[in-house]
Amino acid sequence: MAFTPLFLNAEKHGPILVVGGGEIAAAKTEALASVGAKVQIIAENLSQGIITLCEQHSFDYHQTPYNHDFLEGKKIVVAATDNDDLNTEIATECNKRSIWVNVVDNPDLCDFIFPALVRRGPLQIAISSSGIAPVLARIIKQRIEMAVPESFENLVKYLRQRKAALRIVHKKLQPRRLLGEDILNGPIAEEVLEGNIQRADELLDETIKNLPDTKQGALYLIGTGPGHPELITLKAIRLISQADVILYDRLIPQSIISQYARKDAVKMAVGKTRNHHLKEQQDIDGLIEEHLGKNNIVVRLKGGDPGIFAHGAEEIDIARKMNCPYQIIPGVSAANGCAAYAGIPLTERGKTLSVRFLTLYTKTLHDEDFWQSLKHAKKETFVFYMSTLHYGFLCEKLQEIGFSGETPLVVIEQGTTPYHKEYISTIGTFEQDHDSSTFASPCTMIIGDVARLAKQNQWKEEQPSSGEYFPYLDSEKKYA
């Protein structure tokens, strides 16, 4: 059952008919009154409380048995009696007449449901569990009530009063939008919330003078973490919401884009897998240059951290060449995130004092200088990225250069996601233990003494179901 969230202009639809005269009907009537809706009440028995409510708001009420004639001309009806058969009858008649109906405590009969509502003047935040768990919706409402102070109503009024003036000052959409974000995220909003309107106006005038009425391009390289959508920084969320263009890799939780990106932002998949590149790196570089040239704010979303095996340097070079501002916003790396979810500290006091982030490129496989550089690193932790095809070869080479076959390792598949899975072994037994395993991308292999802790410190339960958390790259497509 899916309910589409809507905010309805009740004034255009005439009075809402509420059938019922008890506590439930009173609660619904009071909720409707709180948002300015007009209500008509019908019930054979009306409580004094609901009569008082109707008189307080000048609502029409009739203490009489319900009949279908009361539905004539109505567009919205609430069935709030304590008689299930009557509520069902009302819903049936409403359906025949194409009238929207809400039947209290019966979502299956409802065309719409009432959300838990947080109101700050014209600002309304609606929370719904689709009728499944009203208590959960109420708890979330309470948390939002605490997070959004009552004084936010003053901020909404302030913005409404100055909206026309701001449109005149900045005619172009992007600078006007950025000005709005400056107002809401900075000292202007704080002054309004404290009731210091004169000081807020002074700050607003100063901000307007210093902001150009032209678009300004910028490049933000943002790490979104290894997969869990909550492992993203607050700064990353703020900058994603500013983006005109979002170029995103395959290993990006789709909810990050759907929740934080503007609906009108251009969203383009540019991800890669080993055998399939939607865009080659030179194509991605070209897109960055093209959109920076149009003075767009470009966000480049990368899985994990944008500074680890992510072509960050060459993409920054484009912004520098074009004299555009840029920032690198770090993310939780695959090494840190996957290790944490596997219960593994990457270093251990007195035992493992350093960490290396590595990957096996094809040209590295037979580079003896590379392997010799690892020979004396037996007390380090190795974290291998993007090397799944070469795990067996890697274990053999490490033993060849002197590593004990008992050196522990763990392969973490789709780490931090709902399909997080761990394969615990040693470099001497890995091929025997996992020769038939087909690892889902992405995988990270952690090698070293700390990997022994995976079994005893494990806190992330393996889920009974399995699947691919990140989408395959069938075609280039945009999020709606």
Residues with active-site annotation? 249, 272
Instruction: Name which of 406, 367, 415 is nearest 388 in CA terms.
Output: 415
DSSP sequence for 143-206: HHHHHS-TTHHHHHHHHHHHHHHHHHH--SHHHHHHHHHHHHHSHHHHHHHTT-HHHHHHHHHH
447 CB-near residues (< 8 Å, 6+ apart)? 381, 382, 383, 384, 398, 407, 408, 409, 427
Residues with Cβ within 8 Å of 255's Cβ and at least 6 positions away in sequence, in order, are: 229
What single DSSP character describes residue 261? Answer: S
Q: What is the distance between the alpha carbons of residues 423 and 386, in angstroms, rounded to a whole number?
A: 16
Cα separation, 331 vs 220, whole angstroms: 12
Extended strands (E) in 232-290: 245-248, 266-269, 272-273, 276-277
Question: Which three-class secondary structure string do you get for 303-348?
Answer: CECCCCCCCHHHHHHHHHHCCCCEEEECCCCHHHHHHHHCCCCCCE
Residue whose tokens read 């263009």: 245
For residues 187 and 480, give the distance between their C-alpha atoms in angstroms, rounded to a whole number.
34
Phi, psi torsion values for 339, nearest 5 degrees:
-60, -45
Q: Are 330 and 223 in contact (CB under 8 A)?
A: yes
The tally of CA atoms less than 13 A away on the side-chain side of residue 212 is 5
| Bridge partner list, 123 | 120
User: Considering just the CA atoms, what is the radius of gyration of the chain in Å?
Assistant: 30
How far, in Å, CA of 283 to CA of 314, rounded? Answer: 12
Judged by DSSP in three states, 387 sits in coil
Helix (H) or strand (E) run with residue 87 in it: helix 84-96
Of 171, 114, 105, 109, which Cα lies nearest the Cα of 141?
114
| Size (the chain), residues | 480
Which residue, among 125, 74, 417, 95, has the nearest Cα to 251 in the 3D structure? 417
